[in-house]
Amino acid sequence: MFGGKGGLGKTTFSAATAYYLAKQGKRVLVFSVDPQASLSDIFKRDIFGKGPTEIMPNLYAQEIDADRRVKEYQQEIRQKILDMYGMDKIPEEIESYIQAAAAEPAMEESAIFDEVVDIVVKGGYDYYIYDLVPLGHALYYLSMASVYDEWIDKITNLRQQMREYDQVAAVMRRDKELDEDAILNELLYIKERINKSSGILTDKEKTAFFFVITAEQMIITDTVKAAELFAKFDVPLSGYVVNRVLSETLKQQEIPEYLKNRFVMQEKYLKVIDETFKNQILAYVPEMDRDVTGLEMIEKLAITMFGNV
């Protein structure tokens, strides 16, 4: 997972890492839930809402269409209600509630979270590269697993208690064995999926989280705060990658006053980064001479990050 504030290079690092691993013969899926994600721009392919799309041998990319996912999610809810209660049609008041809920941000986030769980649980790839949304939203998504888990636990326990009372009542009435509890089974199914995906995302043997930062005061300050919050959700932080470092060779040349000032600022904040993050800094990636779009530039960035591909 690559995380950090918007516009620092999460998506380009995600694409370059996926490219490198694919070149090593690993089957890789790089995906994003950010509606403003730029994987389509970086790979120069319209992949939005089209599911896993093959970019090159071993490399697949996916951008989730939240609107379509919400509609699918609504339909899944309708179908489960029909199946559970043996109805032919959704009652009008419940349909109104489903329609109203679709306008709530929670419905979109829940649907997207469910899609991420699907991607992680389904399997089929050697590596998954998760191009996270900017910090605040990323924390929200990552925290949803523990929030959902706690909520499902309470509801499941309550349902199980009700089930026990029903069984006692059935025995007293000399009724036949109770039918299978479809709602309880659905809750246990959701809980199993959340636990499985949460287990993968917080397993240090399986998952690595990298913060992308640049040599700027606000970025450093926000990243320190975010790292503390991420740690509370057991996100396995593996290190920091410093992006857009200006080349020292450029400094030796005749350059405009603007660039000289940028060098002064960079030196100041690179020292702050060294002192703040110490041995957790994994790499300093230089400012590229062009935008990273297309496989040629992605390969160039991958070589810069990992060496020959």
Both tokens of 186, joined, read 């659905």
Mean pLDDT of 275-286: 93
Classified as helix, coil or strand, 127 is strand
If pLDDT is split at 50, 70 and 90, which confidence band does 271 have?
Answer: very high
CA 300 – CA 307 distance, rounded (Å):
10
Pairing of strands 28-32, 59-63: parallel
> For the segment 48-87, what is each residue's pLDDT rounded down to a tens digit?
989 999 999 999 999 988 788 788 878 887 887 888 777 8
Pairing of strands 281-286, 237-245: parallel
If pLDDT is split at 50, 70 and 90, which confidence band does 5 have?
Answer: confident
pTM of the predicted model as reported, rounded to 2 decimal places: 0.81
The pLDDT of residue 66: 78
The pLDDT of residue 174: 62
DSSP annotation string for 31-57? EE--TT--HHHHHTS--BTS-SEEEET
Mean pLDDT of 249-260: 84
Mean pLDDT of 118-145: 78
> Could you tell me which residue, 283 or 90, shows the higher pLDDT?
283
Residue 137 confidence (pLDDT) above 80: no
CA 33 – CA 15 distance, rounded (Å):
15
CA 120 – CA 200 distance, rounded (Å):
8
The pLDDT of residue 177: 54
Find tokens 């397993």 and name the residue: 203
Mean pLDDT of 5-17: 92
- The dihedral through the CA atoms of 6, 8, 12, 16 has a sign that is negative
Query: Measuring CA to CA, which residue among 21, 47, 19 is closest to residue 296?
Result: 19
When the pLDDT of each residue in the chain is averaged and rounded to a whole number, the result is 84
